[in-house]
Structure formats: C-alpha cells, structure tokens
Amino acid sequence: MSKRRVILSYILGILIIIVIVLMAIKPLVLKSLTSDTMETKKIEEDEVNLSPEVINSITDNKGSITLGLNPLMEGEGITIDSNNVITILYGGTYDISGNLPYGKIIITSPNDVTLNLNNVTINASSAIAIEATKEITLNINMFGQNNLTSSGSSVLQTPGDVIIDGDGEMLITNSKASGIISNNLEVNNGTLFINTYLDICHNIQINGGVVGAFTNSKTLPNIAAGESHVIALNLENALSDMDELQLLNAETNEVIYSFKPVFVVQSGIISSPNITFSSYYITKNNSYGTERLQINNQEILEISESVNIFG
C-alpha cells in the first residue's frame, strides 16, 4: 500500500506541475493571439485609411475577386463589409468571377479602373450593381456570360465614361429605372443586351460588337457616330415578354438580329456587324403568328452610305 501511495503522490505531483506551467504560459499565448489579431486589423484599417496622396499615386494595381456569399479577394486595395459591398480603392485591373446574390461593387479610386468580368452574376436588388464615385474611365472587359441586374436607380453608374470590350456577353436589366448612367458609353466588341424600364443610357458610341438595347421609355440615347451601323427603333405598339422581335434583310430575308424582351419594350437600338448598306424590316412573332411592324413610321428601313443611323 505504501508503494502505491508513493506512486500516486508522484503522479499527482507531476499533474500539479503541468497545471502550474499551463497557467503560467496562458497569458503569453493569449497575448500573442491578441497581438496577431490586432496586427491584422491594423493592416486592414491602414489599407482603408490611406492618405489621398498614396491613393492618388496608385494607377496599376492588380487584384482578383471571386464573388459568392463570402467573396474571396486577392491583392491590395480591396475591402468588403458585412453587407457584401465590395470597395475598390486603387486604380488598376481586377479580375472578377462568380455570383454575388446580394451586394454591389463600388469603386472609389480617383484613377481609371479595368474590370475583367468572367461569368459574373450580380443581383444588386435596389442598389447599383457597379458604381464608380469619381469621374474616371471605367473599362469593362466581358468574358463568358455576365448578368447584372438591379431595380435601383441604375445598374451601372459613373460620372465618367464607360468602355465595354471583350469577346463575351453581358446582360443588363432594370425593371424599375435606368440601365447605365455615365457621361459616355462606348462599345468596341462583344455582345451587349440591355433591357430597362427607363433610360438605356445617355450617350452611346458603337464601334463594334453586337448591341441590342431596349426600353419601355420612348426616350433613346444620343447616338454618336461610331464605326458600326445603328438602327434606332420607335415602336407603335409595345412588345411584351411574350413577343420575339426579328430584324431581317429585306432583300434576302436573312435574320440579322432577334431578341425576346425581359420587360415591356417601346423603343430601342440595334447594332451588328451584319448590318450593312441594305434594306431591312422588322417582324414580331408570338402565339398569334408573325406581324410586320411599322418602325419610325415606315415599313422598310434603308441604310445607305450617307444615312446609317435612324432615330
């Protein structure tokens, strides 16, 4: 019995020593963890609160954003809050992919920004999907299929210019207000489809690609002379989401462009490399059959070398 007691006393002594050691090092561990956490927080705050001089000097930053319920970000100059509002602070180029079921992207950089959208979906609800707060040039390169939707004041907004390029597609829809609010919208390539309740945009220049932009309003954007032919349409009878509109070559009956509205359409613009100097007419197809439409008070649209824009 005495030997067993000695062994138990020995084990108990060891346990007491272990407890004393753990209690002694606990404050050091907690201090280390707290220090690391505070350092991480400090880096984030320093990034957000950089002086204007530093922010103004950054023009070629690179970063990437993978959208989702918990977006992932790589690179500096990008922050996100608890409402999934992603802020880009530095000028430069950002690769963006994924689906943002709620939230928005806001650009506060005073320098130009390029967004490479690769199969991006943003549902901004009543917010603006992509917004630049300063008068910069916002370059958007489209890759894959992209979808931006909002029921707020606009889907894409900036006091500066927007330049759209790339070989992908982008759908911009707004059931209650405007599509793009900017100084100028320039389209160089890709496929762009816009369907809005109010203004499509203010000013547009189309140099390439395929563009179909339609609105429930009778007000069309100012169309600047670009490198592509643009047909502007004012419909006598509105199209619904049950209709399909087709633009056909009057000489060959070839379908040049077709679309089904997301919302009611009363006017719009169509541009495509397939629109050349020729004659065109438009039909509306639905369950009741096909009907040729009167566009701009005429049935046949003539595009000649001297006249390539109809309004």
| Together in a domain, 43 and 67 | no
In a domain, 37, yes or no: yes
In a domain, 16, yes or no: yes
Q: Which residues contact 251 (CB under 8 A, 6 or more apart)?
A: 278, 279
The residue written with tokens 């992932």 in the block is: 72
In a domain, 170, yes or no: yes
Distances 59 to 25, 105, 140, 291, 303 between C-alpha atoms, Å: 47, 18, 16, 53, 43
| Together in a domain, 79 and 159 | yes
| Together in a domain, 43 and 68 | no
| Together in a domain, 44 and 84 | no
| Together in a domain, 157 and 280 | yes
What's the token pair of residue 310? 């109809």
Its pTM stands at 0.81
Task: Say if CB 273 and CB 228 are below 8 A apart.
Answer: yes
Instruction: Find the helix or strand (DSSP H, E) in which 46 lies.
Output: helix 2-48
pLDDT tens per residue, the chain (311 residues)?
566 665 666 666 676 666 665 666 555 444 444 334 333 333 343 445 467 888 888 999 999 999 999 999 999 899 999 889 999 999 999 999 999 999 999 999 999 999 999 999 999 999 999 999 999 999 999 999 999 999 999 999 999 999 999 999 999 999 999 999 999 999 999 999 999 999 999 999 999 999 999 999 988 999 887 888 888 888 878 888 899 999 999 999 999 999 999 989 999 999 999 988 888 988 988 777 788 876 666 678 777 654 444 43
Q: Is 108 left (phi over 0), alpha (psi -120 to 50) or beta?
A: alpha
What total number of domains does the chain contain? 2
User: How far is Cα 251 from Cα 249, in angstroms, rounded to an integer?
Assistant: 5
| Together in a domain, 38 and 69 | no
In a domain, 232, yes or no: yes
Residues 185-220 pLDDT 10s: 999 999 999 999 999 999 999 999 999 999 999 889
| Together in a domain, 184 and 38 | no
Q: What is the DSSP letter of 221?
A: P
| Together in a domain, 98 and 149 | yes
In a domain, 76, yes or no: yes
In a domain, 55, yes or no: no
| Together in a domain, 81 and 45 | no
| Together in a domain, 22 and 95 | no
| Together in a domain, 33 and 92 | no
What's the token pair of residue 208? 């390439």
The domain of 44 spans: 1-49
In a domain, 77, yes or no: yes
In a domain, 54, yes or no: no
The residue written with tokens 């502007």 in the block is: 232
Nearest CA among 53, 43, 102 for reference residue 78: 43
The C-alpha angle with vertex 95 and arms to 94 and 98, in degrees rounded to 5, equals 130
Task: Say if CB 246 and CB 274 are below 8 A apart.
Answer: no
Nearest CA among 97, 95, 75, 73 for reference residue 86: 73
| Together in a domain, 263 and 116 | yes
Task: Say if CB 118 and CB 129 are below 8 A apart.
Answer: no
